[in-house]
Amino acid sequence: MHNQLQEKFRLSVLSLIGVVSVLGITPFVFIRYFQGNTLAAIVDLVLILGIVTLVGYAVRTKKTRVVSWIVAVFINVGVFAIVLINGVDSFLWIYPAIASTFFLVRPIEAIVINIILTISCVFFSNIFELISLVSFVITILIVSVNTYVYASRSEKQFRLLESLNIVDELTGALNRRAFSSDIEQALSIAERKNTPYMLAILDLDHFKMVNDKYGHAVGDQVLKDLVTITTDNTRKYDRFYRFGGEEFVLLVPDIKKHQAFIQNLRAAIKKELKTPDGKEVTVSFGVASWLPGATADSWLKSADDALYRAKANGRDCAVFID
C-alpha cells in the first residue's frame, strides 16, 4: 500500500513534468529548425521523444523511481547540450531543469545532479563571456534552495498524508484500507510464485469485560499493547492490521512452520498482555494458509471460520485451516 501510493505520486509528478517539458520544448524544435540551427532542433526533438518514451514506460511498468532518475539525468544532459550548442541564447533553460530535478529525485540527489550541471556549464560553455558568473551562481543557488525547501516539505507532507491514510490512529497498526490493497498484492504474488502465505485473524477474548471492569482507556491501552507485542514478535515484512474494534489481521508471507510461528506469538501475547492489576488478556486465532485459487473474500472467510471455531473451543487458542 505504502509503495503503491508513492508510485502514484511519482507517476503524477513524472507525467506533469513530462507534459510541461514537451509543451515547453516543442516550439523550439521549429524555431531552431527555421533558424537553420538543425543540431539544436535535433537535440530538442530527442529530448521530447526521450521524455515521452520514458514517461510512457513508467506508466506501463510502474517503475517510477528508476524512470524519474533517468528523466532527471536526461533533462539535465539535454539542457547542458543545448547550452553548449546555443550558448547564452539558451542558458535560461538551466533554471527549469534545476527546479524540475528536485521533484523527480530525492532532494539530496537533486543537489548532486544540479551541482554537476552547474559546474559543467561553468567549465565547458561559453556563456560567461556574456553573463556574470557570480550572478549565475547566486541565482542558481537561490532557485535551488527555494525548490529544495519546497520539494522536501511536500515530500514530508506526502509522507504524513500517506501514513494517515493507511495507519490506525489509536494503535498505530495498519488499517483496513491498507489491508484491502495489500491482500490483493499478496494474492497475486502467491499465485505467481507459489509463495506460502498465511492469514490470521486475532480477536481479543472477553474484551468487553476488560472495558466494563477497567474502563475504556485501559481497553485502549490493551489494544495498543497487543500491537506492540505482535510487532515485536513478528518479522519486519509481516503485516499487522486493525480490522475494527478488537479484531486484528496478520498477513504473513513466505512462512513454512506456520503453526509454531502462531503458537509462539500466542504464547508471547499470553505472557505479556496484562490488565493494570496483572490479569492476563488472551487472544483467539483463526488461521488460514493461502490455497491456489483463493480470493480475498474466500481466504478471509476461511480464517474467520477458524476463528469462530477457536472461540467455540473455549478461546485462548488457535485453529488452523490448511
Q: Which is nearer to ligand GTP, 58 or 210 (CB)?
A: 210
Per-residue x/- track, 243-282, ligand GTP (CB under 6 A)? --xx------------------------------------
Are the beta carbons of 127 and 113 closer than 8 angstroms?
no
- Give the closest residue to 248 by CA, choosing from 285, 222, 291, 298: 285
Which span (60-68, 86-94, 216-224, 288-296) binds ligand GTP, by CB under 6 A?
216-224
Answer for which of 213, 216, 224, 274 binds ligand GTP (CB under 6 A) is 216
Among 75, 204, 269, 307, binds ligand GTP (CB under 6 A): 204
Window contacting ligand GTP (CB under 6 A); options: 18-26, 100-108, 201-209, 287-295: 201-209
Q: Does 316 bind ligand GTP (CB under 6 A)?
A: no
Size of the site for ligand GTP (CB under 6 A): 16
Residue indicated by cell numbers 529548425: 33
User: What is the rounded distance in angstroms from the CA atom of residue 186 to the CA atom of residue 253?
Assistant: 8
| Alpha helix segments (H runs only) across the chain | 2-34, 38-61, 64-86, 94-104, 107-124, 133-166, 176-193, 207-214, 216-232, 258-272, 296-312
Question: CA-to-CA distance for 65 and 58, rounded, in angstroms?
Answer: 9
Q: Which three cell numbers stand for residue 78?
A: 539535454
Instruction: Say which of 7, 129, 246, 272 is annotated catalytic.
Output: 246
CB of 140 to ligand GTP, least distance (A): 53
246 is catalytic: yes
Position 157: which residue type?
Q
Query: Given the rule CB under 6 A, which residues bind ligand GTP?
Result: 170, 203-208, 211, 216, 219-220, 223, 245-246, 311, 315
The residues annotated as belonging to the active site are: 246
